[in-house]
Amino acid sequence: AQTVTQSQPEMSVQEAETVTLSCTYDTSESDYYLFWYKQPPSRQMILVIRQEAYKQQNATENRFSVNFQKAAKSFSLKISDSQLGDAAMYFCAYRRIRNNDMRFGAGTRLTVKP
C-alpha cells in the first residue's frame, strides 16, 4: 500500500523568510501524481501545487515550489517570502494514475511569526 509520511508535525518560520516542508512517500508505481494542500484555520482545503511524476521539472506556483526527488521518493514544499496568510496545516498527498484513492500525509502545521 502506498503511504505518505510528513515527518514534521509542526514548523515555524519568520515572516519574509523561506521554509521547507518535508514529504516522503512509498510506492512501487512509476507514474503517479503528488500534491500539496493547504488548510487554513477556517478549514477549507486548498490545492497549492501539483506534480506529475513523469515530469522532471519541479512545479512552481508563485512563492510555492517543490523539490521532487523521484529516486528518493521525496516531495518537499518550499515557501519563499513567507506571509502571515501562509499559516495553515499543509498536507502532502499521493495519487496513483489508475484510481482515485488519494493518500494524504498526517500534515504539518506551519506557524508564521511576524
Residues that bind another protein (CB under 8 A): 4, 6, 9, 33, 35, 42-47, 50, 91, 93, 95, 97, 99-107
Residue 33 CB, nearest approach to another protein (Å): 6
C-beta of 28 vs 42, nearer to another protein: 42
| Residue located via cell numbers 516542508 | 21
DSSP one-letter code for 94 = E
Residue 102 CB, nearest approach to another protein (Å): 6
Between CA 77 and CA 19 the distance in angstroms is 8
Residue 4 CB, nearest approach to another protein (Å): 7
What is residue 85's three-state secondary structure?
Answer: helix
C-beta of 82 vs 108, nearer to another protein: 108
Residue type, position 43, single letter: R
C-beta of 35 vs 75, nearer to another protein: 35
Between CA 8 and CA 109 the distance in angstroms is 8
C-beta of 31 vs 81, nearer to another protein: 31
10 Å CB burial of residue 79 (0-12, 13-18, 19+) is buried
Residue 114 CB, nearest approach to another protein (Å): 27
